[in-house]
Amino acid sequence: MRSRLALALASALSLPLVACSPSSPPAPAAGDAPAAAEPAAQPAANALLVPSTLPLGYPHFDRIRSEDFGPALEQSMAEHRREVTAIASAAEPATFDNTIVALERSGQSLGSVTRIFFNLSGADTNETLETIQKEFSPKLAAHQDAIFLDAALFGRIEALHKDRDALGLDAESVRLLERYYIDFVRAGARLDDAQKERMKAINAELATLQTRFSQNVLAEVNASGVLVETREELDGLSAEAISAAAEAAKKAGQEGKFLIALQNTTGQPPLASLKNRALRQRIFEASLTRGSRGGEYDNSGIMAKVVALRAERANLLGYPTHAAYVLEDATAATTEAVNGMLQRLAPAAVANARREAADMQKIIEAEGGDFELAAWDWDFYAEKLRKQRYDLDAEALRPYFEIDSVLVKGVFEAANQLYGLSFKERTDLPVYHPDVRVWDVFDADGSQLAIFIGDFYARPSKRGGAWMNAYVQQNDLLGTKPVVGNHLNIPKPGEGEPTLLTFDEVTTLFHEFGHALHGMFSDVTYPRFAGTTVPRDFVEYPSQVNEMWATWPSILANYATHYQTGEPIPQAMLDKVLAAEQFNQGHATTEYLAASVIDQALHQLGPDQVPADVVAFEAETLKRYGLDFAPVPPRYRTTYFSHIIGGYSAGYYSYIWSEVLDADSVKWFESNGGLKRENGDHFRSTLLSRGGSKDAMQLFRDFAGRDPDIQPLLQRRGLGG
């Protein structure tokens, strides 16, 4: 994980920045007074550089202008440089307070500006923000390097680290000192001058390339929507989905037609319902070939260059590969550990997927089809198989999953029963987009715990996927409480239509709120350890645990009510939902593992081994692992694999690594009575509140009382073992 000082490269990742409050800028110089009696109109203060007057430091979105970010970034970087220079050049010998704590306090204005900037760049970008991001990504990388590669500053940190046992520090302070030392070493503080210059050049180029990649992905996913001429071609879609497609076409200047917008995954939701096989193929191929078709959005060359530069940087730091560098600071620790897990799971997952495919092929043949199951057929025939096996129609479920009911009676209710939280929606705070909603979050004793921002709908200005971020993080040093946001990409229905979720979207809502809880429950002293600032292969674990409440019988029955009649979901249908939980796990596990091995294979290359053709390398890698099963392509292909351009490089394995802990924790909850306050309070006090202030695996042991067991994961995924 990056240090408190790595504000610059936080970009559009789901990981929040540290909690900072903006500091006041210097007063503007006064202009000449006009001769007229009326005073001259003063330019509006840059809202990014003055402290927020709103509760908990909530941003003044109503006062923030896109064009303010450039000047705010320049000014806050300069301020941070002055602060760090003063720390590094102090005449007094280094102490924990005048060096480490001073660094924790520094950069508050930069923290606030970058946090807002990159959050908005992910959630609601525009041409101005994209231009600023291109300009400032290398500048911010250089700013970070200037700090991490400062020999005088590192000398003070190293001296303190050497004498850490004699400083009389509490456990969290000792860990903070150790993390600063490790972060500086891993950033290149021990390199010689020539190596430092090369490190700076690599980081600047990577910042530029990664920005280009991410902006290409968003631009192409918006440009790749599939235009459909007639309503008849959409046979199988719900009335709400057809209405949304008509609205999307109208906004694109194609009134009277229908536009199927894409999501940034290989599979696309409409494929489960569309009866028109040719249209399914069009949609799937439009999705699968993104980033590799040549032209302005082609990402294949960018990815190859990024991987090569990462490998070179790892070599500079003394690591054989970028993966070895990343994993050393994760709970997995080694490439061998990750490879071993992936190799163990892959054969069983593919075998399971092949069995599922064979069952679907029987349906095709029974219906008189004369074709073999293809990737664009999978979701459609999986739904037929689900209906056949469980008499469960996914579309029939949607009327019971209206978004407000799921959120308030499901997600929030589970948090109330488990942790004593309560929520009150407020409409008086400004938002950055009309679709955004805001809630005050109160603890069991009635005190305000946090502010929660919900941004649930897809739009062209928003990157794909789902994530949590923080505008303010809790920490005692600066006296701040959390302001956190969840972002999803649920297709927005037509005007006046209800938002009816798929069951996958329901699960995602619970998952992302698990991240939000991790941020809101933070109870640490230092910003460096706040909220989700934990190893990458641990950060998904608490959010995955929170998914269990989506199917907890009492919670599911509470929120799953028909949006028109209010009638509860029939018990028989509810039982089928629970019975079908393991359904299609062969496909789900295989597509995930395929993406994970691509990520590892790319990042386990040396700088001279990176192929020019990353798409061909991808195919070779899948074949080597036995994951080259055409009906189940990777969840993300290399050229639109945004996770590994961002914070999940050599880390996409984290979801299933974390799921070992998750599945075992679900078993713990079930064995201890399930949805009970005492269980929630225990999970909160031993793990959710501790952030990164303690070793991650020790946090699991504190919670569970033992080391993790992989068997619950294998059973959940239908992988035997």
The amino acid at 490: I
SS3 316: helix
Which DSSP string do the residues of 659-685 spell out, in sequence order? HHHHHHHHHHHHHTTSS-HHHHHHHII
Q: Cβ contacts of residue 154 below 8 Å, gap of 6+?
A: 148, 184, 189, 190
**Three-state secondary structure call for residue 108:** helix
Q: Is-contact 364 381, C-beta < 8 A?
A: yes
Task: Give, for 96, the enclosing helix (H) or strand (E).
Answer: none
Q: Are 207 and 9 in contact (CB under 8 A)?
A: yes
C-alpha count within 13 angstroms, C-beta hemisphere, residue 135: 13
> Which residues have a Cβ under 8 Å from the Cβ of 201 and sit 6 or more positions away?
none
Q: How far apart are CA 351 and CA 302, in angstroms?
A: 34
395's CB contacts (< 8 A; 6+ apart) are: 238, 273
3-state secondary structure 19-34: CCCCCCCCCCCCCCCC
**How many Cβ atoms are within 10 Å of 395's Cβ, its own excluded?**
16
Burial 60-80 (b: 16+ CB within 10 A, else e): bbeebebebbeebbebbbebb
Distance from C-alpha of 376 to C-alpha of 268, rounded to nearest angstrom: 9
Q: Where are the alpha helices (DSSP H) in 39-150?
A: 69-88, 102-105, 108-123, 127-148
For the question of residue 512 being annotated catalytic, the response is: yes
The answer to whether 276 touches 235, Cβ cutoff 8 Å, is yes
Nearest Cα neighbor of 326 from 27, 642, 1, 107 is: 1
Tokens describing residue 717: 């995924």
Letter for the amino acid at 498?
A: P
Beta-carbon contacts of 64 under 8 Å, excluding residues fewer than 6 positions away, are 47, 48, 116, 432
Q: What is the CA radius of gyration of the chain?
A: 26
3-state secondary structure of 452: strand
Please tell me which residue in 247, 512, 618, 659 is annotated as part of the active site.
512
Determine how β-strand 258-260 pairs with β-strand 226-228.
antiparallel
Other beta carbons within 10 Å of 322: 27
Per DSSP, what are the bridge partners of residue 485?
453, 469
Q: Return the residue matching tokens 């596990």.
A: 589
At 473, give phi and psi (nearest 5°).
-115, 150
Distance from first CA to last CA of the chain, Å, rounded? 32
CB atoms within 10 A of CB 632: 26
Between CA 720 and CA 625 the distance in angstroms is: 19
DSSP at 548: G
Angle between helices 585-603 and 654-671 (to 10 degrees): 140
Just list the catalytic residues: 512
